[in-house]
Amino acid sequence: MPKDSAISVSRQTEIVSAAIEVFAELGYYRATTAKVAERANISQPYIFKFFATKEELLREALKVSWMRITDSFTHVVSTTPSDRLEEELISAYARIMYEHRNEVLLQMQAQTIMDASIIEIMREGFSKSRQIVHHAFLEAGIPRAAERTMLFLARGMLCNISMSLDIPELMNIDD
């Protein structure tokens, strides 16, 4: 890869990371490319070298956040014995929630954006995550794999709410 190309990829990654932070903190509609540029320590016009619009930047940020989840789940599925599969998938998602909190918050916000391209990215992310987990549960011989997949995903959504509102008792299953 030529040096300029590597720098461009690095800068694009920095811009997306800054956008994730700004969108998560301010919300997509209140966030501006000027705020993203400030967070990335670049000029606002430099953002437009990589992303034509703020919406395009949001789409890329969402794709990055979903890729983190699906890559993590794929890794767990390929390296974990079937008797520990669900536990390790839960642990992997918990790590994402705490190490990449802003990505989770961004996804939560994106669920309320009624733009066809954003909806499609969210559908694809959820669908791929569901497919990975469901297939792994089937292969592992987990009874009622479809139901367990749904419960796994529902628990993830509840974890998101618990984290975002700082109410850990939502996740307390011990009476």
Question: What pLDDT digit, counting tens, does each position of 44-81 carry?
Answer: 999 999 999 999 999 999 999 999 999 999 999 999 99
Q: Are the C-beta atoms of 72 and 128 separated by less than 8 Å?
A: no
Angle between helix 33-40 and 3-26 (nearest 10): 120
pTM of the model: 0.92
Question: What CATH number was assigned to the domain covering residues 3-171?
Answer: 1.10.357.10
For residue 174, pLDDT beyond 80: no
In single-letter form, the type of residue at position 61 comes to: A
Whether the pLDDT of residue 175 is over 60: the answer is: no
- pLDDT given at position 170: 82
Q: Band of the pLDDT at 99, cuts 50, 70, 90?
A: very high
Distances in whole angstroms, Cα of residue 43 to Cα of each of 14, 17, 48, 56: 13, 15, 10, 18
Above pLDDT 90, what percent of the chain?
A: 90
How many CB atoms are closer than 10 A to CB 150? 14
Q: Which long-range contacts (CB under 8 A, 24 or more apart) does 45-48 make?
A: 46/11, 47/15
> Which pLDDT score is estimated for 5?
72
Q: Which two three-digit tokens encode residue 61?
A: 């940020």
pLDDT confidence bin for 169, thresholds 50/70/90 = confident
Report d(CA 13, CA 9) in Å as an integer. 6
Q: Where are the domains of the chain?
A: 3-171
The per-residue pLDDT for 148 is 98
Residue 160 has pLDDT above 70, yes or no: yes
